[in-house]
Amino acid sequence: MSTNKTARSAADAREPTRTGLSKDTLVQAFGDNLFYVQGRFREVATPYDLFLAAAYTVRDRMLERWIKSARTYKERNSRTVAYLSAEFLIGPQLGLNMVKLGITEAAQEAAQELDLDLTAILETEEEPGLGNGGLGRLAACYMDSMATLQIPAIGYGIRYEFGIFDQQIIDGWQVEKGDTWLRNGNPWEIHRPKICFPIGFGGHTEQYTDSAGISRTRWMPALVVNGVAYDTPIPGYGVNNVNLLRLWKSEAPESFDFQAFNTGNYYGAVHAKIEAETISKVLYPNDDPEVGKELRLKQQFFFVSCSLRDMIRLELSNTGTLEQFHQKFAIQLNDTHPSLAVAELMRLLVDEHLMPWEQAWEITQQACHFTNHTLLPEALETWPIDLFERLLPRHLDIIYQINANFLDQVRVKFFEDDERVRRLSLIDENNGRRVRMAHLAAVGSCAINGVAELHSELLKSTVMQDFHAMVPERFHNVTNGVTPRRFMVLSNPRLATLITEICGDNQWVRQLDHLSALEPHADDSNLQERWQAVKTAAKTDLSNWLGQETGITPDPNSLFDIQAKRIHEYKRQHLNLLHILALYEQIKTHGCDSIVPRTFIFGGKAAPGYYMAKLIIKLINAVGEVINHDPAVNGALRVIFMPDFNVKRAQRLYPAADLSEQISLAGKEASGTGNMKFSMNGALTIGTLDGANVEIREEVGAENFFLFGMTAAEVQQRQAAGYDPYAIYSTDEPIKSLIDLIASGLFSHGDTELFKPLVENLMHHDPFMVLADFRAYLKCQQQVAKVYQNAHNWQRMSILNVARIGKFSSDRAIQEYAERIWQIKPEPVSL
Ligand SMILES: *Cc1c(COP(=O)(O)O)cnc(C)c1O
């Protein structure tokens, strides 16, 4: 009691309760927020009350910076990035915001004084799962880096009421559960009911002649919904800049109920209200778009239109004209999901702001930039024309006009090459007439980029070959990156502390290439031992937590071999499984002492409709069930499926990995970012020459990377020559016996039908060439085991991985976008 009193009066004398950063002020502010915001005493506060009080305490400290940032950007009319993304997988905010404000230590001391368990409070936070995986997580890392680099930016997206489903494992199968992340309240967002735009759907278009005698088009939508802004602050690390993440929620316009009341159509009004609110209700849980899902196209148009109208509002309030719109905003389209921005910006400029078409096109094209994220043909988004016509009739007109103008240019450049015209058209005429969203984005953007060097090259030679021939100067590469604030400082504090000690300061947190200061110490056996102790501590933490979560507590001295990412055939979790089965067979024939003890950990969600991915999850669990309980194995082998892989859980995995599995078929993974997070935390990579693996290997050195498998070129050749997996199966003895083992029913209580679809697929189709790469993979894994036995050498390689990983900071990626694509400069904010 008496300590509290002194702390309070001392704080009063020193700094304001809502902005001060000292321990004493935090203690007071926490108590005030618990009482005045939550209306709770400590004695009756629930764990979530405590979290909310902590969150409001941290949020208070960001608000002044946030307002100052907005004011600074407005006063200087700063060029601003508008990052349009259907997904932002931002993860829990409390711990990260404390890191960025530099108050982690003060908060720990405050918690101690209040007799609170800060770790437990952090654990209480529910993460906003507003993304599927890598693409949404990339958007979140980029928001972090833009704020840290002091680049004015607004992230625009959708405030899904239900994010990515929670994954439960029941009887080895994935079961999806709705993600009710908002049920206890979200302290980070601020609802802005006045920032609200009416968004139309359907209806028809009308021609009219304006007072100047100019013929114009008007869209008369049949349905209108409101898009309302919810704002989340995104602070930079160690700077005053706080940027804005603005997510849109759909609501029925108020007039609805009233209208219906008058006409007596009460149920009709209720239905319309539900229909309006459905738009931002749920995230589509697919990595790649499902064909023809009308609601998804509605979601895309909804958030794109809200965002563009918001930008137009800001620009008009600042300058009163839209003539410099493209100088004010650099719009980045994160994949094809926001491609409609091209058509919608044209409509807003031409129809609503009465700009001549040519000028509007100039502005649109100069404002937009497009990031392509995939080479998988099935993931290239297209929409049926008739759906477009029904939902967005005016936009279809505009797309036809853009297409006609563009194809005229194609005909000029490639005289009468009709085949090329067909390939480049925004309309695919071969599959029942569909709009090609990647083409719309590419035609409407002044820059197009891939997300790793290999991917950008493959884009130019495959899916965007014709565009590249048409406008080669628009093509760029920006290799992805991840934020070291979340994936090192926050999630691996022991490693961060050790690195800071060796480097002499913590500049590496904002200048990740400073990690190279570790390099001269890689041979220092004292450091190697401390490095290993840090890793073992993280493995012990994970092991204990897995014990609670799954009932299996692996030995922290075993090699932790982790594959955590969406479950997808191209990512080849089943290749990993075949290696596990090979080790199991070895134990069965040569005893458990014949292998280096390993713990295999898998994590990842499967799209609910992706049957083969779900069967792979079942197989992982079934194999684990047998191996983990086989006395002959005696703990030398563990196979654990960690349920519900998300950002929060990812943060437990990366620090604890010895080996990172990045084993996709070469040419299929655009970049990958999990590969970077693992390596940053000292895991060595076993991987193919795919995505950013290529560059990671270049950076860390071939001798510190376990490479196997065909190159992208070899994959193409092999496929062209006619790939026959059955020939491999029938002639390659270890492969045959491993596949037969799955088919035998050993892992399915004698049921030989259960895994048949998987087995048959591998033997007869094997679209991702698991069998073709298996031998090389097995051999490489044997090499891994051999190297792991020399602990000092392994730690040396681990230190070198971290020392040379600087390139893969999202700060470097954002720097490249800023200089080469957006032409935008930092705008420092002072308090
Ligand atoms: C980084 C991350 C991913 C992406 O992993 P890849 O290995 O690049 O596919 C997916 N999900 C979460 C939660 C992540 O943090």
- In this prediction, residue 354 carries a pLDDT of 96
> What's the CA gap between 781 and 774, in Å, rounded?
10
Query: Same domain, yes or no, for 429 and 296?
Result: yes
Give residue-wise pLDDT tens across range 411-468: 999 988 999 999 999 999 998 999 999 999 999 999 999 999 999 999 999 999 999 9
Query: Same domain, yes or no, for 144 and 258?
Result: yes
| Residue 134 beta carbon below 6 angstroms from any ligand 1 atom | yes
Query: Same domain, yes or no, for 463 and 499?
Result: no
| Residue 672 beta carbon below 6 angstroms from any ligand 1 atom | yes
| Residue 674 beta carbon below 6 angstroms from any ligand 1 atom | yes
- 565 annotated active-site: yes
In this structure, what CATH number is given to the domain that contains residue 235?
Answer: 3.40.50.2000
Separation of CA 563 and ligand 1 centre (Å):
10
Separation of CA 264 and ligand 1 centre (Å):
51
| Residue 269 beta carbon below 6 angstroms from any ligand 1 atom | no
The residues of the chain scoring below 70 in pLDDT are: 1-14, 255-264, 288-292
Catalytic residue among 137, 439, 535, 677: 677
Separation of CA 672 and ligand 1 centre (Å):
7
Query: Same domain, yes or no, for 654 and 590?
Result: yes
The answer to the question of residue 776 being in a domain is no
- In this prediction, residue 5 carries a pLDDT of 45
Separation of CA 643 and ligand 1 centre (Å):
14
The tokens of 309 are what?
Answer: 């109208």
The answer to the question of residue 474 being in a domain is yes
- In this prediction, residue 268 carries a pLDDT of 72
Range of the domain at 65: 1-75+100-125
Q: Please state the domain count of the chain.
A: 3
Secondary structure of the chain: what % helix, strand, coil (to 5)?
55, 15, 30
Give residue-wise pLDDT tens across range 732-781: 989 999 999 999 999 999 999 999 999 999 999 999 999 999 999 999 99
Catalytic residue among 673, 685, 796, 812: 673
Which residue has a Cα nearest atom 5 of ligand 1? 674
CA dihedral 296, 297, 298, 304 (to 10 degrees): 110
The answer to the question of residue 292 being in a domain is yes
| Residue 384 beta carbon below 6 angstroms from any ligand 1 atom | no
**130 DSSP β-pair partners:** 88
| Residue 373 beta carbon below 6 angstroms from any ligand 1 atom | no
Give the number of the atom of ligand 1 that is nearest the alpha carbon of residue 677: 1
Give the number of the atom of ligand 1 that is nearest the alpha carbon of residue 646: 13
- 194 annotated active-site: no
- In this prediction, residue 3 carries a pLDDT of 43
Looking up tokens 């097995």 gives 778
Asked if residues 83 and 139 have their Cβ atoms less than 8 Å apart, the reply is yes
- 571 annotated active-site: yes
The answer to the question of residue 778 being in a domain is no
Separation of CA 130 and ligand 1 centre (Å):
13
Give the number of the atom of ligand 1 that is nearest the alpha carbon of residue 571: 9
- In this prediction, residue 34 carries a pLDDT of 97
| Residue 647 beta carbon below 6 angstroms from any ligand 1 atom | yes
The tokens of 365 are what?
Answer: 């094209």
Query: Same domain, yes or no, for 147 and 284?
Result: yes
Mutate to test the pocket of ligand 1, among 572, 677, 685 (most ligand atoms within 8 A of CB): 677
In angstroms, the Cα distances linking 477 to 82, 453, 465, 815 are: 19, 6, 15, 13
Q: Three-state SS across 433-474?
A: CEEEHHHHHHHCCCEEEECCHHHHHHHHHCCCHHHHHHCHHH
Which residue has a Cα nearest atom 15 of ligand 1? 647
Which residue has a Cα nearest atom 8 of ligand 1? 672
Query: Same domain, yes or no, for 340 and 447?
Result: yes
CB-based contacts of 425: which residues, under 8 Å, 6+ apart? 403, 407, 436, 439
The answer to the question of residue 619 being in a domain is yes
Which residue has a Cα nearest atom 4 of ligand 1? 134
Rounded to two decimals, the pTM is 0.97
Looking up tokens 């992982």 gives 620
Which residue has a Cα nearest atom 12 of ligand 1? 133
CA angle 236, 308, 288 (to 5 degrees): 80
Catalytic residue among 347, 439, 510, 566: 566
Which residue has a Cα nearest atom 3 of ligand 1? 134
Query: Same domain, yes or no, for 104 and 9?
Result: yes
* Backbone Cα Rg of the chain: 28
Query: Same domain, yes or no, for 43 and 163?
Result: no
Query: Same domain, yes or no, for 446 and 498?
Result: no
Asked if residues 139 and 334 have their Cβ atoms less than 8 Å apart, the reply is yes
The answer to the question of residue 54 being in a domain is yes
- Comparing CA positions, the residue from 32, 78, 352 lying closest to residue 218 is 352
| Residue 157 beta carbon below 6 angstroms from any ligand 1 atom | no
Which residue has a Cα nearest atom 9 of ligand 1? 565
The answer to the question of residue 766 being in a domain is no
> What's the CA gap between 342 and 344, in Å, rounded?
6
> What's the CA gap between 173 and 170, in Å, rounded?
5
Query: Same domain, yes or no, for 466 and 505?
Result: no
| Residue 133 beta carbon below 6 angstroms from any ligand 1 atom | yes
Which residue has a Cα nearest atom 1 of ligand 1? 674
**331 DSSP β-pair partners:** 82, 368
Query: Same domain, yes or no, for 116 and 176?
Result: no
Task: Using DSSP, state whether 174 is helix, strand or coil.
Answer: strand
| Residue 677 beta carbon below 6 angstroms from any ligand 1 atom | yes
Mutate to test the pocket of ligand 1, among 87, 88, 89 (most ligand atoms within 8 A of CB): 89
Q: Would the CA dihedral through 629, 630, 633, 639 be positive or negative?
A: negative
Query: Same domain, yes or no, for 638 and 572?
Result: yes
The answer to the question of residue 719 being in a domain is no
- 677 annotated active-site: yes
- In this prediction, residue 267 carries a pLDDT of 74
